[in-house]
Chain A
Amino acid sequence: MSRDAASARATEPTAPAAAPPAPTLIAIQRLDAFFGAVHAVRGVSVDLTERTVTAVIGPSGCGKSTFLRCLNRMHETVPGARVTGRVILDGHDIYGGGISPVAVRRQVGMVFQRPTPFPTMSIRDNVAAGLAVDDRKPTRKQQEEIVERALRRAALWDEVRDRLKTSATGLSGGQQQRLCIARALATDPEVLLLDEPTASLDPISTQKVEELIYELRSEVTVIIVTHNMQQAARVSDQTAFFLGGELIEVAPTERMFTSPSDERTESYITGRFG
């Protein structure tokens, strides 16, 4: 290495050499959500790290699903619903002026409690459904590749490769849910929101979906709402506990389930209420 090159290198910032702090992808600041007069989410602030799985737990009606639906601006589709506060994704407030909810939802995918395949579409068309509304709609050939990749990522390709053109309603419940995950992944979102994705599935399908979530963390930031604490413990890096619309505690999952710092968290995870 020549002297010039060495001196040039010396002037570069040295930060990358040290272990960099994991970058924050989503910064949520003082988020409040309402249904009419009901205050469902109360002043939640939390930073979420890129490429991690965050589990959101809490008793029924604690506002965890509403919190999730604020992150892709689905909450406001309900009549009478309202959101205040900031959700900064990649440096931009998704509730900022001039940002359309449609654009937000293309970056933040979502899978619901019950599988929602579009019944009039084939398996292939279901996966490609999000591509159809893309501003730069991919060509037919690109679409085939994207569909295959999304189905592989959702661990469904081998089961459906021979019947891509058949109706999606012919699949089992677990397959339909993985199809919905593939559909959400096809548009390459930065964040994937899962709202109790295994609530309607049998144990074997649940296990498949959990394995899938665990693998997805290398490519996408996942936030999963779940009623099942074993599930939270199995799939997530950090866990957030909600109670009465407030975020009580957020911590690395292992610590959360072994030594929570808040008494209410401990009561909930040891099963004293909820």
Chain B
Amino acid sequence: MIGLMYAAAVLAILPLILIVIHLLRLGGSAVNWAFFTQMPRPPGEHGGGMANGIVGTLILLGISSAVGLPIGIGAGLYLAEKRATSLATTVRFLADVLNGLPSIVMGIFAWELLVKPVNHFSALAGGAALGAMMVPMVTRTTEEMVRLVPISLREAALALGYSRWRTSLSIVLRTALGGIVTGALVAMARIAGETAPLLFTALGNAFWSTSLKAPIAALPLQIFTYAITPYDDWVAQAWAGALVLVAIVFVISLAARIVTRRRFSAGD
């Protein structure tokens, strides 16, 4: 029985190991300095990079965080403070539903709301779609983390003459901050690789663009575009892009781990 569980544990991480080995084998050779600094080249020309896609992904992450974090943290704080009100119960349930919503639906919805009315694709629409995906994740982790703060700390602050909102912000939220940052980083890692919500919103861009109002390149989109071409150079670039994307997710996850560890060692 123990042996079976051991095997299951190994099997659970096997896909990740195989993916990383595969990516290193096929994409590793194309990841070099140029890949990070240069623009894509036409098919048939060697070299080039995905600088636009990498920067685009970072910009999209920035926009989605700007949209998703304040709303998510605010909603989570509300759920934790007013946990039994009917609004809180409803929001909690709907956040869980939203969390399970297929990402392509989020993309179509963002297109309907942010692309169609203005008649052009934009980085802003893509970031908003990703941000909307972050909201329920951040809401729920914020709620959990705030609920972990003991009531006695809240009472101690109130007894010192802190007002209710001041207690929430400068004592409760600050105590829960480590956990909330971890939750935010995990949410960012989750959406960094999302492709479907970007198909109808950010669209992708073969050229250099950092404008929020224009279509913008993103690594997942670029991987998709390159991987389905018949050109060997582009397919290799697609593998390299996948490797870089996995690396970005890995770095964000690692940062989340470090924040978590520091939080627990800062305790007793």
Closest Cβ–Cβ distance, residue A169 to chain B (whole Å) = 6
A contact residues around B170 at 8 Å (CB): 132
Residues of A within 8 A of B162 (CB): 102, 133
CB under 8 Å from chain B, chain A span 166-214: 167, 169-170, 180, 183-184, 187
Judge whether A116 is part of the interface by a CB distance below 8 angstroms: yes
Interface pair B177/A105, CB less than 8 Å apart = no
Q: Which one of A120, A167, A180 has the greatest number of beta carbons of chain B within 10 Å?
A: A120
Mask for B66-89, Cβ within 8 A of A = 1, else 0? 000000000000000000000000
Stretch from A16-24, A107-115, A228-236, A240-248 that touches the partner: A107-115
Find out whether the CB atom of B160 lies under 8 angstroms from the CB atom of A74.
no
On whether the beta carbons of A133 and B160 are closer than 8 Å, the reply is: yes
B157: chain A residues within 8 A (beta carbon)? 118, 129
Q: Is the CB of A167 within 8 A of B266?
A: yes
Cα distance, A108 to B171, chains bound together (Å): 20
Cα of A134 to Cα of B158 in the assembled complex, Å: 13
The count of chain A contact residues (Cβ–Cβ below 8 Å) is 27
Q: In the complex, what residue of chain B is closest to A107 when comparing beta carbons?
A: B161
**Among B155, B163, B166, B174, which residue has its beta carbon within 8 angstroms of that of A112?**
B155
Asked if B90 is an interface residue, CB under 8 A from chain A, the answer is no
Minimum distance in angstroms from A132 CB to a CB of chain B: 8
Q: Which of B138-163 contact A (CB under 8 A)?
A: 150, 152-153, 155-163
Q: Which residues of B contact A102 (CB under 8 A)?
A: 161-163
Dominant secondary structure of chain A at its interface with chain B: mixed
Would you call B230 an interface residue if the criterion is a C-beta within 8 Å of the partner chain's C-beta atoms? no
Residue of B nearest to A101 (CB): B158
Contact A116-B156, Cβ < 8 Å, known A133-B163, A133-B166: yes
Q: How far is the CB of B146 from chain A (nearest CB, A)?
A: 13
For window 182-228 of B, CB contacts with A under 8 Å fall at: none
- Cβ of A106 < 8 Å from any Cβ of B? yes
Question: Which B residue's beta carbon lies closest to that of A121?
Answer: B174
What residues of B have a CB within 8 angstroms of the CB of A169 in the complex?
266-268
